[in-house]
Chains A and B, each alone.
Chain A
């Protein structure tokens, strides 16, 4: 390898070394690793590094170009903020899982071929599930299990997609695929990617699992999995019309659920679907401006969504509650955490001077520019829902609103959490106020100007009148202590039916099969042994008693019977074997 160090190495080595470091040194170590990776990313030069040959397959560990660097940048920054936020966590395992998760995401982003990508893809799924399992509640364990099943299923889609793709084009190289040449291998890959991007109808793992993750784990989770998926979609599948449509559908679908959910983190989780929808739609529109917008939005989104999860997490951490029906009036106890959350909320809603304003609008403007007015309208509709749910509803019912019947008296979260939130807030503000800091990183030259009068007017109308709607409908929007069914209802029902079928039909068939052998075989054995015993007695008696022919004749009949039977038994027990044989030949 030349002069490039893969930033993921720090995380993998760090994860392995972590158990051997104790005390304060450990805390410093946990922060140093992301810092080291930030330095390495800052020093990276474009190029291809770490090519290798694996059984005749050309692999590439480090494809460093503009597109991968945007994501690498935000990943390492987020890794630092996440590590800072999780610093108080004592279990090594949690930090190790986090490091593996971040490292494998970086590995996936820099991967230049499908094979490398796939391996990191799977490590991502398996390391992240521990961030859910460390919650140590039965619900979390179950949700994590479902999460894992979904992701391994998605991984298999990707795996078989890439195998067939290899058979088709003879290479594992991971490059842009033209929509006109895409056939089912490409669509299999696309489906695998889409599952990680939580594209409906493959999205149900996200709102299922993220709210059950640990407080610190959710901050990591919300950043990496979906955004890695956005990266690979941008890399391979830009310009696919289906993504533009599904992405826009996601934006609205996500906010509809965000409006009705009760658990704060589930609201945020559904809202990830909505936000990733913008990015997917941007990738689907496929123009330079739209792809730029998708990358910029991914960058900005990682930060403010993490900030929101940090805010919600600190509420959960300090009060042990995350349902809005059990919260209220927290502004008195944790104003700093509230400010953090509110900065995230106004960033995500696209307030001027905050990061959502300069990133989301880029995708909306790209749709507008391309004449995709319906897409644009739905995206703006989702924007309304965003402010309504994440911005106003959660803020109001958690931090203001009526305190619950059994009020909580919480304190501010630990200093490291507050620092992480403060730094993230600052970044949201910097990006929103000085958008050039973000725009220089984008893969294509940026001509978009966010701060124009008409755009300001558009956004301010949307925000202000959403506020009016909320004010008028606040009674109708109050949270309810219920869960809402999603498409996973069908998946769960399907699984349940399948298990019933398996249990009631297939498993007994196998038992029957074993019984068949038992009856034909073991009984046959004993039966024939019995017969031959009798034969021995009779035949020998016969000889001794000298009752010659008649008895010998009888004996030979028995003998025939006996040998015949053994053959029949064995023959029958092999019936299946020959049946297949006959069928085939």
Chain B
């Protein structure tokens, strides 16, 4: 059964669709967790599946299966992070849309044909548009943010279609295989680069890369913690996967495309970090951090080879864990559903040493400090960009790392500072376990990257 993960994710969503038809509200988190874990197991089981389906439009290979596992890990962890009094629990539609969105992303990483890429991307996006406004403490600004997200998501899709049109015009086919054959010819022309770039736009949007980043701060701030957690992590994994697939169309380094990626990466990193520096709202800060990290990711794409792509895959894996960890801390701290200010972290080390530690591990990792995964991941990215001869961007990234240190470490500083105001935060056994899981994962990814790297390189 090559399509097992897809079919299962579909069923997952259907279960909640039927539940949403019924009346009465009941906690769903136990059911959701169970089903998500089964999905994760299934995705692991089918990791070696392979096949070419739907007249070659859909390829199941090691690459796609690894990303499916990552997507399922993301979904499972996100589902595990909700608790029963969370505002999104006992709303079956929420789980349903999460499922559909993941389904779209799952299909996306396997799609090797332009139209199926488009369709799967849209399946995923529409589900997200629907859950962004699901929030108890909704204000006008929050609502506006979701409209913005929808509107510009649609525009970026439009641009992608425009680019795809060009690709089709060049290759007379929508299959990536055919396009690859023609790439040396059309990438020699500026218009060919333009076509590829426009096609990439929608994924830049998903990753919140400059100049398509503007939605992120508003959405992060405007959507509920649960929704933000999902949007900030899982779609980015798939976005990175497709970026890898599409830049692999270029086969060999293309100087204009590389230069473009460099410029976008430089702006993205610099802007994200500089603006992140002055943020007061924790989730907004994470949005800018995400913008900066989208820039770092581009460094891996610059080398246009397996190593660089593996580095991107590795970094997005680390990114998944460190962001989930940070969001989990946020979710545990803001049980009322309000947005957390950075100053709300004050005295966290006293209130809950474990949460402070998890926060520290995640922040250190985001800042790129050994021995966390963030360091190892950045190391791979920088090394690959460096080997490809892109010295300037590596230096820009270095300077950016210095700038970003300031606000990541500031989070840790605040959490270790002053006397605690307010009661200590009690964590259940389950919540503690999840905190440990995140911290350990971040450190293991930092210390033992070789197995994962080897896996990713095989997949490329």
Tell me the A residues contacting B by CB distance below 8 Å: 54-55, 93, 118-119, 122-123, 126, 133, 138, 141-142, 144-145, 148-149, 152-153, 155-156, 159-160, 163, 167, 499, 502-503, 506-507, 510, 513-514, 517-518, 521-522, 525, 570, 573-574, 576-577, 580-581, 583-585
Within 8 A of A (CB), among B408-460: 409-410, 413, 416-418, 450, 453
* Known contacts A54-B450, A522-B147: A148-B264 contact under CB 8 Å: no
Q: Are A580 and B260 in contact (CB under 8 A)?
A: yes
Q: Are A573 and B271 in contact (CB under 8 A)?
A: no
B336 within 8 A of A: no
Q: Are A145 and B369 in contact (CB under 8 A)?
A: no
B126 within 8 A of A: no
Q: How far is the CA of A359 from the CA of B456 in the complex (A)?
A: 54
Q: Which A residues are in CB contact (< 8 Å) with B370?
A: 118-119, 122-123
What does DSSP make chain B's interface, helix, strand, loop or mixed?
helix
The smallest beta-carbon distance between B421 and chain A, in angstroms, is 13
Q: How far is the CA of A576 from the CA of B201 in the complex (A)?
A: 13
Give the size category of B's interface with A: 35 or more
A-B contact pairs, 20 of them (CB 8 A): A55-B453, A119-B371, A122-B369, A126-B364, A148-B413, A152-B409, A155-B369, A160-B395, A167-B386, A506-B271, A507-B275, A513-B214, A521-B155, A522-B144, A522-B151, A573-B152, A576-B211, A583-B263, A584-B256, A585-B190
Q: Are B416 and A585 in contact (CB under 8 A)?
A: no
Q: How far is the CA of A573 from the CA of B277 in the complex (A)?
A: 26
B15 within 8 A of A: no
The smallest beta-carbon distance between B42 and chain A, in angstroms, is 32
* Known contacts A156-B402, A522-B148, A570-B155: A502-B369 contact under CB 8 Å: no
Q: Are B367 and A152 in contact (CB under 8 A)?
A: yes
Q: Are B151 and A133 in contact (CB under 8 A)?
A: no
B159 within 8 A of A: yes
Q: Which B residues are in CB contact (< 8 Å) with A133?
A: 416
Contact of B413 among A144, A513, A576 (CB under 8 A): A144
Q: Are B151 and A145 in contact (CB under 8 A)?
A: no
The residue of chain A having its C-beta at the shortest distance from the C-beta of B156 within the complex is: A574
Q: Which A residues are in CB contact (< 8 Å) with B271?
A: 506, 510
Q: Are A580 and B450 in contact (CB under 8 A)?
A: no
Q: Are B369 and A152 in contact (CB under 8 A)?
A: yes
Within 8 A of A (CB), among B355-402: 364, 367, 369-371, 375, 382-383, 386, 394-395, 398, 401-402
The residue of chain A having its C-beta at the shortest distance from the C-beta of B405 within the complex is: A152
Q: Are B410 and A145 in contact (CB under 8 A)?
A: yes
Q: Are B369 and A141 in contact (CB under 8 A)?
A: no
The residue of chain B having its C-beta at the shortest distance from the C-beta of A93 within the complex is: B353
Contact of A585 among B194, B218, B402 (CB under 8 A): B194
Q: What total of A-B pairs shows CB separation below 8 Å? A: 115
Q: How far is the CA of A573 from the CA of B154 in the complex (A)?
A: 13
What does DSSP make chain A's interface, helix, strand, loop or mixed?
helix
Q: How far is the CA of A156 from the CA of B403 in the complex (A)?
A: 12
The smallest beta-carbon distance between B309 and chain A, in angstroms, is 15
Besides the known contacts A122-B371, A513-B211, A570-B158, 20 further A-B residue pairs in the complex with CB atoms under 8 A apart: A55-B450, A55-B453, A123-B371, A126-B364, A144-B413, A145-B410, A152-B402, A156-B401, A502-B277, A502-B278, A503-B278, A507-B274, A507-B275, A507-B278, A517-B148, A518-B148, A576-B211, A577-B201, A581-B197, A585-B190
Within 8 A of A (CB), among B186-237: 190, 193-194, 197, 201, 211-212, 214, 217-218
Q: How far is the CA of A288 from the CA of B198 in the complex (A)?
A: 64
B259 within 8 A of A: yes
Q: Are A573 and B155 in contact (CB under 8 A)?
A: yes
Q: Are B371 and A584 in contact (CB under 8 A)?
A: no
Q: How far is the CA of A49 from the CA of B194 in the complex (A)?
A: 54
The smallest beta-carbon distance between B71 and chain A, in angstroms, is 26
Q: How far is the CA of A185 from the CA of B274 in the complex (A)?
A: 27
Q: Are A581 and B260 in contact (CB under 8 A)?
A: yes
The smallest beta-carbon distance between A489 and chain B, in angstroms, is 19
B18 within 8 A of A: no
Q: Which A residues are in CB contact (< 8 Å) with B259?
A: 584
Q: Which B residues are in CB contact (< 8 Å) with A503?
A: 278
Q: Are B413 and A142 in contact (CB under 8 A)?
A: yes
Q: How far is the CA of A118 from the CA of B371 in the complex (A)?
A: 10
Q: Are B148 and A163 in contact (CB under 8 A)?
A: no
Q: Which A residues are in CB contact (< 8 Å) with B147?
A: 522
Q: Are B413 and A517 in contact (CB under 8 A)?
A: no
The smallest beta-carbon distance between A354 and chain B, in angstroms, is 39
Q: How far is the CA of A49 from the CA of B159 in the complex (A)?
A: 57
Q: Which A residues are in CB contact (< 8 Å) with B375?
A: 122
Q: Which B residues are in CB contact (< 8 Å) with A573?
A: 152, 155
Q: Are B263 and A584 in contact (CB under 8 A)?
A: yes
Q: Are A581 and B158 in contact (CB under 8 A)?
A: no
* Known contacts A156-B401, A160-B398, A576-B211: A514-B217 contact under CB 8 Å: yes
